[in-house]
Chains A and B, each alone.
Chain A
Amino acid sequence: MSVNTNDKKVDAKRRLLLAGCAAGGLGVMAIAVAQPKDRVIKVTAKRFDFSPSVIPLKRGVPVILELTSLDIPMGFNAPDFGVRADMVPGKVAKLRFIPDKTGEFTFYCDIFCGSGHESMSGSLVVT
């Protein structure tokens, strides 16, 4: 990770220690420290909507989408960023990625879910 200021370095070290205590394992610790800034956004699907349907993101800032469906199996697919996940009722899928370009990009349901499936899409707005 890139930590520039001394303050941040200290901060990171402290967190490293805390994570070390909690996890008691070097590998886990490294991951815990490497992702201090991930934004978590919950996305739910139900026939034939995503909520939220517009997801604002920052370029270069990692995001974790927590995806679930309220009724039947659906899919979340954002082809511009090469990511997809199944959205299954009762389960939460985590999709982590770092938007690498700005603009408005469509995500859509890629599991056919009925009459209305075709309009089931939303947008990632990356600034």
Chain B
Amino acid sequence: MNNGINNDPGNGVDRRGFLRLAGLGGVIFASGLSGWAAAADSMGVAGAEDFFFVQLSDTHWGFEGDVNPDAKGTLQKAVATVNGLEQVPDFIVFTGDLTHTTDDPRERRQRLAQFRDIVAALKVKTVYYMPGEHDAALDNGKAYQEFFGKTHYTFDHKGVHFIVLDNVTDPAARIGDEQLAWLAADLKQQPADARIVVFTHRPLFDLYPQWDWATRDGAKAVELLMPYSNVTVFYGHIHQENHHMTGHIAHHSAKSLIFPLPAPGSQPKRTPLAWDAAHPYQGLGVRTVKPEPRPRNTEYTLNELAVGAAKS
């Protein structure tokens, strides 16, 4: 927690301040974590309304390569990190690419099974999953669904309506008309000021199509969400932090748990950033997300935790 920046009891954090805070991308170490509860208290957050969840993304179980010499151990470290949080999250959400691509359907299932077994060690038992294109695009989500069920769904938690959208099981990166109709029908049941959080794997907007960082019909989903005053999107796929607004809708990406990728368009090819032995796990991490207390509940405070930053 960036103490002194965001726990001003009078002002909370306005959007610009919030984005500036999130943009720091700071690695938040365990020593600061104990501040959460106190800060929430001083902000007058009603216990029942306040909650935390943790976003984990792009674990790519099965990946091997120099860019992460600890590819077989990073996911376990992330699990330990989350288990070590002083403030227990209400739930965990994995925003896709649980496993790394394989052409072999048997190997794909083996990786999904190993992933499931490793994350079973999470102390928080409410875990939401969604596929990434590496899990699901080559077999249209068949193997993924055997292990984790539906690829798009909704759930509600403490007054927030969560929508998990699938923009990856179609290898052409489409949400598809059927799912868009489903989304429209779901949104119709929500009041215009409902607190809505959307999880996707790919960005819904054209972040950098040249690197396939887009959703072909993502604009249609954004259009459906537009009439709602209180929408935030969390996604994965790009292996780094990024913040973007489409109108009043904020989109936040998560770091990955396998290797960081370069900033959009910052180099000719989208090759992963090299492992830095002097700073292991740099650019990899876990994100905790905390909604701002009412009436500022359109906003979320994001905290990045380095892999291995467990409670000391």
3 closest residue pairs by CB, A with B: A112-B137, A115-B101, A112-B171
Residue pair B172, A106 in contact (C-beta under 8 Å): no
Residue pair A111, B101 in contact (C-beta under 8 Å): no
Residue pair B216, A110 in contact (C-beta under 8 Å): yes
Residues of A contacting B171 with CB < 8 Å? 73, 111-113
- Say whether B270 faces chain A, with CB atoms less than 8 Å apart: yes
Residues of A contacting B133 with CB < 8 Å? 112
- Say whether A6 faces chain B, with CB atoms less than 8 Å apart: no
Residue pair A115, B102 in contact (C-beta under 8 Å): yes
B interface, how many residues as a size bin? 20 to 34
A108 to B210, CA, bound (A): 6
Residue pair A119, B270 in contact (C-beta under 8 Å): yes
Residues of B contacting A115 with CB < 8 Å? 100-103, 134
Residue pair B209, A79 in contact (C-beta under 8 Å): yes
Q: Which of B137-179 contact A (CB under 8 A)?
A: 137-138, 168, 171-173
Residues of A contacting B211 with CB < 8 Å? 108, 118
16 contacts between A and B (CB under 8 A): A79-B210, A106-B210, A108-B211, A108-B212, A109-B212, A110-B212, A110-B216, A111-B171, A111-B172, A112-B138, A112-B171, A112-B172, A112-B173, A113-B171, A115-B103, A119-B271
Taking each of B101, B206, B212, B269, which has the highest tally of chain A beta carbons within 10 Å of its own beta carbon? B212
Residues of B contacting A119 with CB < 8 Å? 269-271
Residue pair B210, A121 in contact (C-beta under 8 Å): yes
B155 CB to nearest A CB, Å: 27
Residues of A contacting B138 with CB < 8 Å? 112, 114
Tell me whether chain B's interface is mostly helix, strand or loop, or mixed.
loop
A interface, how many residues as a size bin? 10 to 19
A121 to B210, CA, bound (A): 8
Residues of A contacting B172 with CB < 8 Å? 75, 110-112
Q: Which of A10-50 contact B (CB under 8 A)?
A: none
Residues of B contacting A111 with CB < 8 Å? 171-173
A77 to B102, CA, bound (A): 24
A112 to B168, CA, bound (A): 9
Residues of B contacting A79 with CB < 8 Å? 206, 209-210
A49 to B154, CA, bound (A): 38
Extra contacts besides A73-B171, A115-B102, A117-B101 (13): CB < 8 Å: A108-B212, A111-B172, A112-B133, A112-B137, A114-B103, A114-B138, A115-B101, A117-B212, A118-B211, A118-B212, A118-B270, A119-B269, A119-B271
The residue on A at minimum CB distance from B132 is: A112
Q: Which of B194-213 contact A (CB under 8 A)?
A: 206, 209-212
Taking each of B100, B133, B172, which has the highest tally of chain A beta carbons within 10 Å of its own beta carbon? B172
A117 to B271, CA, bound (A): 12
A118 to B171, CA, bound (A): 13
The residue on A at minimum CB distance from B209 is: A79
A99 CB to nearest B CB, Å: 16
A85 to B209, CA, bound (A): 15
A124 CB to nearest B CB, Å: 11
The residue on A at minimum CB distance from B261 is: A118
A114 to B136, CA, bound (A): 10
B137 CB to nearest A CB, Å: 4
Mark interface residues in B188-231 (1 if CB within 8 Å of A CB, else 0): 00000000000000000010011110001000000000000000
Residues of B contacting A117 with CB < 8 Å? 101, 212
The residue on A at minimum CB distance from B102 is: A115
A77 interface neighbour in B100, B209, B271, Cβ under 8 Å: B209
Residues of A contacting B206 with CB < 8 Å? 79
The residue on B at minimum CB distance from A80 is: B210
The residue on A at minimum CB distance from B138 is: A114
Residues of A contacting B210 with CB < 8 Å? 79-80, 106, 108, 121
B99 CB to nearest A CB, Å: 11
A9 to B212, CA, bound (A): 45
Mark interface residues in A77-118 (1 if CB within 8 Å of B CB, else 0): 101100000000000000000000000001011111111011
B298 CB to nearest A CB, Å: 31
